[in-house]
Structure 1
């Protein structure tokens, strides 16, 4: 590391990787994506989805009878694309390539044809599937939505550094303006295969590895993965992946301006009758101040602010996966967030453990014991 300072040391990780462990990046990736572009969902009730989206802080970018595009205040593509479907499901993730040549290079390597995207999005893209079957779209040249007005930044008095005089602090109890999509977290029964696939095909690099306690010799079971932009800092993680008994969406995160916007926006969501899953707190990996909510279709979404940015010089940190290690401060992690509450989704997850143990994947009995231990540590 060029600075000589290891931010992992003494904070949340061991002394980096042990000889022979996963390096956290591919030696010769096909391309290097710049960022996550948007997420795609199918939902049967677009009006209900739009109502929650507005309370959460999105703005409608486009709306038809069968499609809803939601955006943040920053210039760029929509954050979320929701299409009408018979059931609620996560349909895939799109990443932004550096240019159209990278899309063609990826098409040539994978043998999958690139194609023009729908006119509502513009540009070109290629649709791939990761080893767990998740659809991964890589795009270039999509329409750029103009920037919108953002929430005014509050003026803070920091101890004796007084910046606000004869004026009060009154953050509005209103939706927190979503600025942009920050990251998505996915679970896979083929975690290691998926990890290597994303590093090789998209040029992503690992910021932090997590492993089940007592099982480090078997390799990591979760990774926080960022874009490789060289000397330009990128979010600590744009994608996070974890091993589990099903292939599924876990949550997605959307940046807001500051902690007042996040907290007051949460009060607005609560006033509207929506359910907080966990928060407010500050994470360890990524350092974000977070607040998690369930949308009406059961999807977990996060407001965050003040996240870490790393350039390409930082090597991965390594640490055990524990429930108590998810936050530096905040309320205890909830059963809902951990997926062990008595909900339909958690019951499906529990039943899937049996079928996963019988299938040809990375989720075996030892891994199951490690996963069950996480919630108790």
Structure 2
């Protein structure tokens, strides 16, 4: 790891609210001034890293990763869960901003207004995490998984999703921790869907919104797409190596803790899909270490996260869920890593789900950050992070 690429972001990283500058009056008596106002800026990606960073190319070389052996993932498609009460989870997901695309007596598919047939699949049964689903580039990539990971396959080979909207093929394997991991290909795209209008916003110097008033209608925060999901494991080093060696998954940020001997132990990874120069979400998957004080003592899914239109949409969705009596976990606030505005909730089976807006985009030129794993570094603003979020 090297030194930060630039110091130009230091001022914004300083806690200027707590710093009081001293000045001297004409009569020689010291006098303090009030706290400086807060500041924000949209800063180039490679200027925001902490005390260390590394290029993706260097990291891949140091890890000994052969990109030709990767299974090429195109995007994150949908989440898969099992819930005991289909009616309860259906009511929640509708209030969360999804629509029922198709249902049977034992299965349901929920969609958003984005380019996917569906973003959430639920099967009736005891509470269970069934894994995230990635779309792969070709059918040959599915066959590559069958050959490379034949001892991990959970489906009957490559299965046809005959009842799912859009059809396609599905393959499920287990990762080294035992988490299900799904891959799909051949799904037909849905018809084009309408997009929300973009708000015109006035600031103190630019006033493009002239004789147009901001008006809103209460309701759920409509979901656009699935953005990411996270896993908590007691085999973090093994999972980090397995995911990055076998798939085009590359860190955006690595978190560490200081050891008594002065060394740094990696404990979490925010990772994106390597699509070359194409811009992708800052993280599509994150892996975190299971801590001894976790309220859930075994490896588990942490949460899955869905993109919404903008901050107002998110705030209205928060209000809607609160009025319906659902339980908020944490939010609304803004993260540091990924930058997105967040809002976390428990669903009716106590799986954590998130709304987010305004997330970062990266590509192969974005350097990998290396930061301390501290609770204070989770958010720029928002409520204090609750203990249950850190499970």
- TM norm structure 1: 0.83
- 2:38 is aligned to none
- 1:156 is aligned to 201
CA RMSD of aligned residues (A): 2.3
- 1:277 is aligned to 329
> What are the equivalent positions in structure 2 for 1:245-284 lying under 5 Å apart?
245-284=297-336
- What's the offset of the Cα at 1:7? 5.1
- What's the offset of the Cα at 1:30? 2.4
Where in structure 2 are there 5+ consecutive unaligned residues?
Answer: 7-42, 291-296
- 1:305 is aligned to 357
Q: Please identify the structure whose Cα radius of gyration is greater.
A: 2
The answer to whether residue 271 in structure 2 is matched with residue 193 in structure 1 is: no
- What's the offset of the Cα at 1:174? 1.1
**Could you give the per-residue CA deviations for residues 246-267 of structure 1, whole angstroms, max 9, x where no partner exists?**
2111011100010000001111
> What are the equivalent positions in structure 2 for 1:145-294 lying under 5 Å apart?
145-214=190-259, 217=263, 219-244=265-290, 245-294=297-346
| Structure 1 stretch displaced more, 236-245 or 149-158 | 149-158
Give the Cα separation in 1 of the matches to 2:47 and 2:366.
16
- What's the offset of the Cα at 1:9? 6.2
Closer/same/farther in 2, CA of residues 129 and 60 from structure 1, 3 Å limit: same
SS in 2 for 1:225: strand
- What's the offset of the Cα at 1:163? 1.9
Give the Cα separation in 2 of the matches to 1:147 and 1:24.
41
| Structure 1 stretch displaced more, 186-195 or 164-173 | 164-173
**Could you give the per-residue CA deviations for residues 173-206 of structure 1, whole angstroms, max 9, x where no partner exists?**
2111100000001111111111111112222111
- 1:105 is aligned to 144
SS in 2 for 1:196: helix
- Kindly indicate whether the alpha-carbon contact (under 8 Å) linking 1:280 and 1:289 is maintained by their aligned counterparts in 2: yes
SS in 2 for 1:177: coil
- What's the offset of the Cα at 1:72? 1.0
**Could you give the per-residue CA deviations for residues 306-338 of structure 1, whole angstroms, max 9, x where no partner exists?**
101101122311011111100111121122322
Closer/same/farther in 2, CA of residues 74 and 9 from structure 1, 3 Å limit: closer
- What's the offset of the Cα at 1:276? 1.3
- 1:317 is aligned to 369
**Could you give the per-residue CA deviations for residues 76-126 of structure 1, whole angstroms, max 9, x where no partner exists?**
2311111000x2121112111011111112222223574133212322232
Closer/same/farther in 2, CA of residues 308 and 101 from structure 1, 3 Å limit: same
The answer to whether residue 78 in structure 2 is matched with residue 14 in structure 1 is: no
Closer/same/farther in 2, CA of residues 24 and 220 from structure 1, 3 Å limit: farther
- Kindly indicate whether the alpha-carbon contact (under 8 Å) linking 1:9 and 1:15 is maintained by their aligned counterparts in 2: no
> What are the equivalent positions in structure 2 for 1:7-156 lying under 5 Å apart?
11=48, 13-17=50-54, 26-28=65-67, 29-85=69-125, 87-111=126-150, 114-121=157-164, 122-156=167-201
> What are the equivalent positions in structure 2 for 1:333-344 lying under 5 Å apart?
333-339=385-391
| Structure 1 stretch displaced more, 190-199 or 24-33 | 24-33
| Structure 1 stretch displaced more, 29-38 or 44-53 | 29-38
**Could you give the per-residue CA deviations for residues 222-280 of structure 1, whole angstroms, max 9, x where no partner exists?**
00010011000110000000010521110111000100000011111111111111111
Give the Cα separation in 2 of the matches to 1:231 and 1:164.
35
Closer/same/farther in 2, CA of residues 94 and 172 from structure 1, 3 Å limit: same
- What's the offset of the Cα at 1:8? 6.2
Give the Cα separation in 1 of the matches to 2:326 and 2:231.
23
SS in 2 for 1:76: coil
- 1:364 is aligned to none
Give the Cα separation in 1 of the matches to 2:47 and 2:382.
20
- Kindly indicate whether the alpha-carbon contact (under 8 Å) linking 1:73 and 1:180 is maintained by their aligned counterparts in 2: yes
- What's the offset of the Cα at 1:35? 1.3
